[in-house]
Amino acid sequence: MKKEIDIKLLNIINTLVVTQSVTKTAQQLKLSPGSISYALKKARSITGAHLFIRTRNGMKPDTTAKELSQRYQKFTGNSMPPTFSESATGKNTLNIMTFTPVEMMLAKIVKESRFWNSDLRFNFFPYDSNSNDRLERIKNGLIDIDIGSKLPADKLVNKIKLFSTPVSLLASQHSGLEDTVTLADWQERKHAVWSVFSDYYCDNILSSQNVVRYMDERKIAMISASIINMVAFCANSKCIMMIPDYFAPVFTSTFPVKKLSMPPELSLKYDCYFHFSNTLFDYEEMKLTANEIVSHFKNINQVDQDAFISPP
């Protein structure tokens, strides 16, 4: 092994040995992921060793990387970056990315379950509609659980279908609309659009072309990534907005809005998936928590949702 490897490079290798994640290493050292990758390439050239192997559980160090990490720790007197002091069996923060309705439902689950008295901390991140970005965050360890639209298949990420639901409409309780909206109502009314959602689908081949046309021809009054803003806007206007039927009770119990059926010509559905990193299996408490969350969602049927969401 050549001896000209410098202390900065040793610091990067040591941090990567500890975090086993390029992204976390970059965050800890306030560098870009690209800088970490460049440094690894340089270190491999100097040492002639591969140093790290990418696995489903993160970047695993080889013997040379461990030796360099120990050399750095001996030189500096540090054994571990403080940000990543959690042990493999003691991780106590569950990072979750999802959209607001699911976050509201999860808050209810946490409060009324055994999680409330545990040391586990739930850390929520705003939903990102970019599938590739969501996938990379799970693979790099930034997100433990992602609940939302289906992500591309990846050997490092598991997925469970959480639920499938029809799509409904929300409108003000004073909108003057009947329980089932007609196609004429759909075309005449203005729409509020929750921009996070784009994964509604039609399972009827013959009607799918018309569905696309009716969606494109909507009179849109407002678009926002915030569903709270859109529901509040509908509650105080004559606009209507689409929403997965599964989430409707969250808002009808909180805002002066009502759920309406879509026009028969626009029969749409939405599927929601629970994604998680393979590394979740390394932490018993987090694995059990994730399993219990899935069980809660799967046991909620449409009849039970009002009781589940409403305050006691």
pLDDT digits (tens, 9 = 90+) for 177-226: 988 899 999 999 999 999 887 789 988 887 888 898 999 999 999 999 89
What is the pLDDT, as a whole number, of residue 305?
45
- CB under 8 Å to 159, separation ≥6 — which residues? 150, 151, 273, 274, 275, 276
Give pLDDT tens digits for 68-119.
888 887 777 654 444 444 433 446 788 899 999 999 888 877 777 666 667 7
Whole-structure pTM over 0.75, yes or no? no
Q: Which residues contact 267 (CB under 8 A, 6 or more apart)?
A: 166, 202, 203, 204, 207, 211
Distance, in Å, from the CA atom of 206 to the CA atom of 282, rounded to the nearest integer, reads 47
**Gap between the Cα atoms of 61 and 72, Å rounded:** 15
Q: What is the mean pLDDT of residues 259-266?
A: 93
Question: Rounded to whole angstroms, what are the CA distances from 276 to 86, 87, 145, 161?
Answer: 19, 20, 5, 12
Phi, psi dihedral angles at 293 (to 5 degrees)? -60, -45
Does residue 170 register a pLDDT over 60? yes
79's CB contacts (< 8 A; 6+ apart) are 73
pLDDT for position 308: 39
**Per-residue pLDDT tens digits for 1-41:** 445 678 888 889 988 988 888 888 888 888 888 888 888 88
- Dihedral of CA atoms 130, 131, 134, 135 in degrees, nearest 10, equals -150
Return the structure tokens found at 23. 């992204």
